[in-house]
Each structure stands twice: as structure tokens, then as C-alpha cells.
Amino acid sequence: MSSIDSTIQRITKTGEGETCAPELADGPWTFDLGVPSYGPGASMGDVIPTGAPRQGQLPLEYQKASNEDLHARIIAAKATLGDRAVILGHFYQRDEVVRHADFLGDSFQLANAAQTVPNAEAIVFCGVHFMAETADILARSDQAVILPNLAAGCSMADMADIDSVEECWEQLTEIYGTEPDADGRVPIIPVTYMNSSAALKGFCGRNGGIVCTSSNATTVLDWAYERGQRVLFFPDQHLGRNTAKKMGISTDLMPMWNPNKPLGGNDAKSLDEAKVVLWHGFCSVHKRFNVGQIEKARAEYPGVRVIVHPECPMPVVDAADEAGSTDYIQKAVAAATEPSTFAIGTEINMVNRLAAEYPQHTIFCLDPVVCPCSTMYRIHPGYLAWVLEGLVRGEVINQITVDDDVAEPARIALERMLAAKPPVATKEA
């Protein structure tokens, strides 16, 4: 198995292949200090909000340790902790982290996994900040959720802040009023993608809204349209657009809201006719995929099956054979009985792992440039060893806590989602 780290080292040293940022070879701790940024990788061009959580210096012994040493230390710490600690790993994590995960899955499955470990005092979330917040909202109050590197945020989640969304909501409710129609449907329902801050989930809980993930977005939008005439969908414009289009809604009825412009950059008529108002956010990993890459894959591999994540822009989703969440992609590959060729439009760590796990298939990433998610990349086994050895000493490092006044309404919005569609079973790594 060739991990993403060794692939990037090889590209940097030999010039064979291309990586979006040679700095990826330096080790994530290099970017914890200095000017705040998302660091190298797909989000390196995005502007990080002031006040985004930062990670202090990782103790030098973990920076300098070899991968073998860190591997052995993590195993030893896990053995000492037993079921007092559980490690959750998102599909986009590097292999050196995933191999220690008790559960591997998408953000929704991992949130549920956190609830299935009653003996765990600590939930170590190898993913990004909004996932750890969600785990804390759903976990028991005496369980500590730990994010090994506090700089592991999400550039898309950061594109919608609570103040801008509150301001947008105020303007929209002024336009639409608050009176239900003859069927009892309120004028507008807020829907937030799981990839958002706890504050936004709380906003949805307080305003009759709901959370969705990429695996249940259609079910959730159905839920919303049963109760409302239209939807405000944030932060990901692409997931919102792709899902609404799949449900038969015309793209003419999907104005986009840019919080930096009056009325979000729209006129009153288009807002009045809207079926879904889309926040302007996007994922810089999935924005890298384009129709040209799909055409090239089809020309080079006749019969190729193109599967992309619904965070990709609409023309990419339209040109692909299928679109689905990380779990969908994983299951589609696992279910293929005949040797097949898959061109996949999602994060490179996951695509490379699928290629290694299923050697009977030809599996490659649509984007030939190796460009991981900048923030998933910030979790390295050095941080995992650090927080686990902290737990062995009785020290909780990098705890993520959501205050009750936010957690309570956020839990309501999450529970509405869980009730709209029962949880998918978690998958053990």
C-alpha cells in the first residue's frame, strides 16, 4: 500500500507525477504556527476566518518520531486504554491514521458510532472540527471528544458563519413573512449540511429546520418541503443544487445567496419565486473536478464507471454515471462483482485506499494532481500518539465542547434528521 504521504514524498523527490503543493511533504506541524491558514492542499487558496481554532506546537518528540515508532506508541497507548477510548476515522484520513481507527466511516456514520460506545470516556475523532462538535452534541455529557489537531477545520463549513446566516434569515423572513399557506406550510425552512458549525445546527433547531448529510439530502429536503414552501440551504451550494435538481426542481428557481451583496445578490422577484435559496459555499476538494477530466477518462477507459461526490459542481455530477456520499462510493466499489474500472471524484486518500483494497479493479482519481483535503491532512499519527498518551497519563488534550445553549437546539435539528431517516449501521474498520 502506498500511503498519500509516501506518494507526496516520491513526487516531491522524483518529479514523477504532480502534487498541488510540495509543502505537503513537510509534515502538518510545520503549518500549525505562523500565519493562520488552511495549510497546503485543496483549501490553500481559501481565506481562513479570523479566530478559527489553531493548534499550538506539537511536542518535538512526536514531530521527530518515525512512522514505525508512532505506530508502536499508538498501539501501546490503545492497549493500555482498552475500551476507555474509541478512535473514529473518516474515510478521508491518511492510512497511517485509519489503521488505528475502531470505526471508519462517513461523517454521519461516525456521529452514530460515537453513541454506540457507552464505556468510552474519550472519543478521539480523526476527522474535522464540525464532526467532533457533532459527536460532542450526541455523546453523553461525561464523554470527552478529542480532535487531535485543532487546526483540522473545514473551509466549506467556515464559509457560513452564524452572523451572516442570521442576517440572511432576517431579510428572507421580511420578504416571505411568517404566515403558513393553505396546506400549513411555513414560507421557508432552514436546512444545514452536516459540514457546518454547531452554531448553524443550533440555528436550524431554533427555526424549525434540520440537518442533512450527503447520504440523506433528498430525504431531508422531502421532509422540509412537507413543512415549508421553500428551503434555505447552507453552506454547500453544490450539494443543495444537485439534490434539488435530482428532485425535479428547475435551476431557475435556485437563486444563490452571497452574504456580501444586498439581498444576497438577487432581486425580490427571483427570491419570491425561489424553491431553494443556496448559500454560496463550496468544497475546494470537490471543486477541482471538471467535465474535461470525465471526458478524458471515458476516452482512455471505454466502459469506465464514473462516480463523484455530490459536493462536485452540477455539470460534473450531470456528466458522471453516479453521484453519492463517501459511503455510497465505498459500497458501489465493494459491490462490483466483475473486474471494473472506476474513475472517482472525491478526496485522494479515500480513492487510493479503495484502489489498494480492491486490486481486481482499476480505480483512479479523476484529478491526476495529488491534492488532499488541507484540513483532513492536518491529522497525522504524531498528533494521535500525543493525545492518546495524554489520556494514558489522565490528561485530556484538545477537547471539543459545545456549550449547552447551542448544543440543545443543534441536537433537535440532528434528531429531526435521524427521525427523517434511521441511522445507517456503522462499519467497523
Tell me which residues touch ligand SF4 (CB under 6 A): 43, 128, 154-156, 195, 283-285, 347, 373, 375-376
Q: What is the closest distance, in whole angstroms, from the C-beta atom of residue 221 to ligand 13P in the complex?
A: 16
Q: Which of ligand SF4, ligand 13P, none binds 43 (CB below 5-8 Å, type-dependent)? A: ligand SF4
Q: Which is nearer to ligand 13P, 240 or 264 (CB)?
A: 240
User: Using CB atoms, what's the residue nearest to ligand 13P?
Assistant: 106
**How many CB atoms within 10 Å of residue 380?**
25
Nearer to ligand 13P (CB atom), residue 172 or residue 410: 410
User: Which residues touch 224 (CB under 8 Å, ≥6 apart)?
Assistant: 189, 191, 209, 210, 231
Residue among 212 and 385 whose Cβ is closer to ligand 13P: 212
> Shortest distance, CB of residue 100 to ligand SF4, whole angstroms?
20
Q: How far apart are alpha carbons 41 and 399 in whole angstroms?
A: 25
For residue 105 the three cell numbers come to 466511516
d(CA 325, CA 99): 22
The one-character DSSP state at 19 is B
Residue with cell 458563519: 161
Beta bridge partners of 399: 146
Nearer to ligand 13P, 293 or 326 (CB): 326
Residue 325 interface partner, choices ligand 13P, ligand SF4, none, CB cut-off 5-8 Å depending on type: ligand 13P
Choose among 207, 128, 226, 120: nearest CA to 162: 207
Beta-strand ranges (E) seen in 112-253 are 122-126, 144-146, 189-193, 210-212, 231-234
- Residue 196 interaction partner, one of ligand SF4, ligand 13P, none, beta carbon < 5-8 Å per kind: none
CB of 270 to ligand SF4, least distance (A): 27
- Please give the residue ranges that form the binding site for ligand 13P (CB under 6 A): 106-108, 194-195, 213-214, 283, 311, 325-326
Closer residue to ligand 13P in complex, CB, 311/367 = 311
From the CB of residue 387, how many other CB atoms can be counted at a distance below 10 Å? 24
CB of 346 to ligand 13P, least distance (A): 7
From ligand 13P, ligand SF4, none, interface partner of 326 (C-beta below 5 to 8 A by class): ligand 13P
- Give phi and psi for 283, each to the nearest 5: -100, 125
**Which of ligand SF4, ligand 13P, none does 214 bind, CB closer than 5 to 8 A by kind?**
ligand 13P
Q: Running DSSP on this structure, what letter comes out for residue 77? A: H
Least separation in angstroms between residue 312's CB and ligand SF4 is 11
* Contact partner, 31, from ligand 13P, ligand SF4, none, Cβ < 5-8 Å per class: none
- Work out how close the CB of 214 gets to ligand 13P at its nearest, in angstroms, rounded to a whole number: 4
222: part of which helix (H) or strand (E)? Answer: helix 217-227
Residues 6+ apart with CB under 8 A from 365: 343, 344, 345, 346, 348, 351, 352
**Distance in angstroms (rounded) separating the CA atoms of residues 74 and 272:** 56
Smaller CB distance to ligand 13P: residue 86 or 348?
A: 348
Cβ count near 364 (within 10 Å): 19
Q: How far is the CB of 338 from ligand SF4 (least distance, A)?
A: 30
C-beta closer to ligand 13P: residue 7 or 213 = 213
